[in-house]
Amino acid sequence: MSFLFSRLFILLACMGSGMALAVSFGQAGHTVAGVAAGALAWLVWDGWRAARFAAWLYRLQDDPTAAPPRFFGTRKEVAERIQRLLRQQARAMAESENRLRDLQSALQASPNGVVILNERECIEWCNRMACEHFGLDARRDLAQRVTNLLRDPALVACLAARDFDEAIALTSPASTSAHPLRLAVRIFPYGEGRLFLLSQDITVLEQAEAMRRDFVANVSHEIRTPLTVLAGFVETLQTLPLGENERRDYLARMARQTARMKNLVGDLLALSRLEGSPQPGLEEHVSVRALLERCEADARALSAHLHGESAHSFVFTGMDEADEIAGVAGELQSAFFNLVNNAIRYTPPGGRIRVGWKAGETGDGRFFVQDSGPGIAPEHIPRLTERFYRIDPDRSRESGGTGLGLSIVKHILQRHDAALQIDSLPGQGACFTAIFPEFRISREKRVSGQT
């Protein structure tokens, strides 16, 4: 109502002032003309204002923040309301845009590959991980049919049959034999015929599964072999009449097989103990000299026991060092002697074996065992520390190894933050070096001795 009254009031005011002008100029006869002129002036002025208002509305289409010209009365109110509405709309829009961006960055951050497909199975959006998994290009491959680029027959069949109940395992197109990449892909339908494709890297999972399978198979095989031999001898003893000498011989062989099984089980237990126990701290220190002295005594005894007269010649160096290693004495002793033991078993009788301790260039400490044995071919070196990995299965079993020695060494060294380095060439012997980092070694005594 106020809207109507205000306009009426202005109109009347214009008409009144026209009349007043006519009267003041002393031409009372033209009163009507004055009123009409006033009304006309109002019409022109109002029309001009309306035109400006419309122009402002037009401008708003391009620039929602355009400031209105100065209005008053009704138009001012209308303009303010329009502006408020526009502001609200802009805020709502910004909010939903932000939410969309949040959602997209959440999907981007996902460790899984995400591909969104429209109802024609064309790629609508994909995250960075999906690009890596499937070799997609996030910009160029939009609107591309997904089966044109992910051509795995299992996936194509699953999309064709629209059977999305189970995950599909497939080899990624980005996979190479050096860096295999296996994926589990699941598809979830949503909305009207749209699809949500999720891919997960299962390479490590499958490798772990394969390793577990191999491990169980290996353990069973390693245990079955001596058991078969034992069973054979038991049967012989049960069924055949044997002389005293033969019987003693058979029993001795049986004892060897049981000893082998005992070793194997012992090594397996040692491994599982190493895996289960916490990392040794830095408080306890072991003297390197004590470790080397025990190694020397054990090594000479073993070599003499195996080869008698033609025992290996040993050179032990670094015995006078006063270095200490922070760690567990029993474990380190076992790791060091395992390395020496390997050298003794793989070096022909009379060969030379050098064992010692020296300081590395970067402050680290190195325990090394160098032999003059047959050496190791380069393709075997990276796999030597795998459980039950054997270069020549018959030979190493014959020499009494369980196939777990180097795995145990590697485990112990890892627990002491140390690394195992293997340098060897066929025919030129091998050198195994355990490298301990500086913080695991204390040299206090030597430093104080020098000053």
Which stretches of the chain bind another protein, using CB under 8 A? Answer: 135, 137, 140-141, 144-145, 147-149, 151-153, 156, 171, 173, 176-177
Q: Rounded distance, CA 80 to CA 91, Å?
A: 17
Record the tokens describing residue 87, joined without a space.
Answer: 């502001």
Bridge-based pairing state of the strands 182-190 and 194-201: antiparallel
Q: What number of CA atoms fall less than 13 Å from residue 329's CA on the CB side?
A: 12
Question: Please, what's the b/e burial string for 12-27 (b: 16 or more CB within 10 A of its CB; e: otherwise)?
Answer: eebbebbbeebeeeee
Q: Which is nearer to another protein, 156 or 282 (CB)?
A: 156
Q: Which is nearer to another protein, 211 or 234 (CB)?
A: 211
Task: Say if CB 429 and CB 383 are below 8 A apart.
Answer: no
Residue 191 beta carbon to another protein: minimum distance, rounded to whole angstroms: 22
Residue 263 beta carbon to another protein: minimum distance, rounded to whole angstroms: 29
Angle between helices 329-346 and 288-307 in degrees, nearest 10? 30
Q: Which is nearer to another protein, 144 or 258 (CB)?
A: 144
Residue 393 beta carbon to another protein: minimum distance, rounded to whole angstroms: 13
Torsion of CA 124, 128, 131, 133, to 10 degrees: -120
Q: Rounded distance, CA 375 to CA 427, Å?
A: 5
What's the N-to-C CA distance of the chain in angstroms?
Answer: 105
**Count of CB atoms situated within 10 Å of the CB of 434:** 24
Residue 120 beta carbon to another protein: minimum distance, rounded to whole angstroms: 9
Q: Which is nearer to another protein, 70 or 140 (CB)?
A: 140
Phi, psi of 319 (to 5 degrees): -70, -20
Q: Which is nearer to another protein, 8 or 143 (CB)?
A: 143
Q: Rounded distance, CA 271 to CA 410, Å?
A: 10
Residue 212 beta carbon to another protein: minimum distance, rounded to whole angstroms: 19
Residue 193 beta carbon to another protein: minimum distance, rounded to whole angstroms: 16
Q: Rounded distance, CA 25 to CA 299, Å?
A: 136
Q: Which is nearer to another protein, 74 or 148 (CB)?
A: 148
Q: Which is nearer to another protein, 142 or 297 (CB)?
A: 142
Q: Which is nearer to another protein, 175 or 287 (CB)?
A: 175
Residue 399 beta carbon to another protein: minimum distance, rounded to whole angstroms: 23
Task: Say if CB 188 and CB 196 are below 8 A apart.
Answer: yes
Residue 140 beta carbon to another protein: minimum distance, rounded to whole angstroms: 6
Q: Which is nearer to another protein, 149 or 229 (CB)?
A: 149
CB neighbours of 310 closer than 8 A, spacing ≥ 6?
Answer: 349, 350
Residue 150 beta carbon to another protein: minimum distance, rounded to whole angstroms: 8
CB neighbours of 415 closer than 8 A, spacing ≥ 6?
Answer: 274, 279, 280, 327, 331
Residue 138 beta carbon to another protein: minimum distance, rounded to whole angstroms: 13
For residue 199, the cross-strand partners are 113, 185
Q: Which is nearer to another protein, 86 or 149 (CB)?
A: 149
